[in-house]
Amino acid sequence: MLKIDNVTMRFGGVVAVNQFSAKIDPGEIVGLIGPNGAGKTTVFNMVTGVYKPTSGDIIFTPNGTSQSIINLRPDQIAQIGICRTFQNIRLFKELTVLDNVFIGSHLRLKSGIFSSVLRLPNYTKQEKAMYEKAKYLLEKVGLYEEKDEKSFSLPYGKQRRLEIARALATDPKLLLLDEPAAGMNPQETQELMEFIENIKEEFDLTIFLIEHHMEVVMGICDRIYVLDQGAHIADGDPLEIQNNPKVIEAYLGVD
């Protein structure tokens, strides 16, 4: 599905990510963990086209055919099936909850701006389907009741779920979740884990996630990559990672 091949990201003199490689197979849930400032979000930013890696390549294989995505813009990457959520929630604040999700499917719209203004049948049919889908997704994440509220008025946990719904509206093959459980209590976290498993099955997704809550990572990830100071230090299944001395060292700072 996704192959990150030896990527390095350098900002001026700072090396944020150093020769990182990873491979994600279709249908997997893969975790990316590491201490603060390890470069996890930078990896996401490179995969979604926000940053262009200084060196290395990223190959995406949505349906048999592979292509390098490092030269694509973020919107082109969303178009071919990679979508994400943000660590520091980025909703369209002044827009309603429903519109936030609705915009997620704008990229699949096949009508021009003038058919939308003239409300030609070809457009209205698509618009109706987009709204249906948005409503369905809102039901799925349990926000249907709030669909007409402005998104900034939602409580924090619901905003996170709304971001996931918005990302799902783009029909991704690969979903990147940046700390989906941040700020959630144990019960919400438990629900989130079930929710992630659930959408993975229903929408046939592959999921790549950054998380600090170890119970989430250990609970749902098939495999885990560990970053420390921009460098790959370990990968493997949850059990291996838990017992890897290097990982323990990175987290506890033993020297």
Partner 1 sequence: MSIQEFLQHLANGTSLGSLYALIAIGYTLVYGILRLINFAHGEIFMLGAYIAYYGIFFTPLPWWLVFILASVLTGLIGLLLEKIAYKPLRNSPRITILISAIGASFLFQNLGILIFSGRPKAFPAPAFLNGVLNIGGVSVGTISLIIPVVTIILLVLLTFIIQKTKTGMAMRALSKDYEAASLMGIDINKVISFTFFIGSFLAAVGGIMWGIKYLQLVPHMGVMPGLKCFIAAVIGGIGNITGAVIGGFILGLGEIMLIAFLPTLTGYRDAFAFILLILILLVKPTGLMGEKIAEKV
Partner 2 sequence: MKDNKIIKYIICVVVAIIAMIFLNFVLDSYKVRVLNLCFIYIILGLSMNLINGFTGLFSLGHAGFMAIGAYTVAILTMTPEMKEMNYYMKPMVSFLQQINMPFIVALIIGGLLAALFGFLIGAPVLKLTDDYLAIATLGFSEIIRVVIINLQSVTNGALGLKGIPQKTNQFFVKLLRDIFGISLSHSINLLWAGIGAIITIVFMFLLMKGSYGKAFKAIREDEIAARSMGVNLFKHKVMSFTIGSFLAGIGGGLLAVSLGTIDPTLFKFSLTWNIILIVVLGGMGNINGTIISAIVVTIAMEALRFLDEPLNLGFIQTPALPGLRMVVFSIILMTVIIFKKDNVLKSTLVKVRGRYAKN
- Contact set with partner 2 (CB under 8 A): 48, 50, 73-75, 78-79, 83-84, 86, 90-96, 99, 102-104, 106-107, 109, 113, 116-119, 123, 126-127, 130, 148, 150, 166-167, 169-170
Site residues for partner 1, 180-239, by CB under 8 A, read: none
Whichever of 131 and 251 has its CB closer to partner 2, that residue is 131
Q: How far is the CB of 94 from partner 1 (least distance, A)?
A: 11
Site residues for partner 1, 159-178, by CB under 8 A, read: none
The site partner of 41 among partner 1, partner 2, none (C-beta below 5 to 8 Å per kind) is partner 1
Q: How far is the CB of 173 from partner 1 (least distance, A)?
A: 22
Give the number of residues written for the chain: 255
The CA-atom distances, in angstroms, between 206 and each of 7, 15, 191, 195, 232 are 21, 28, 19, 14, 21
Whichever of 162 and 241 has its CB closer to partner 2, that residue is 162
Q: How far is the CB of 86 from partner 1 (least distance, A)?
A: 7
Q: Does 152 bind partner 1 (CB under 8 A)?
A: no
The site partner of 11 among partner 1, partner 2, none (C-beta below 5 to 8 Å per kind) is partner 1
Q: How far is the CB of 83 from partner 2 (least distance, A)?
A: 7
Whichever of 98 and 181 has its CB closer to partner 2, that residue is 98
Count Cα atoms within 13 angstroms, Cβ side, for 188.
15
Q: Does 92 bind partner 1 (CB under 8 A)?
A: no
Query: Which residue has tokens 């020297």?
Result: 255
Determine the Cα–Cα distance for residues 3 and 24; give it in Å rounded to an integer: 6
Cβ-Cβ contacts under 8 Å for 44 (sequence gap 6 or more): 32, 84, 176, 178, 208, 210
Interface residues with partner 1 (CB under 8 A) are 11, 41, 45, 50-51, 86
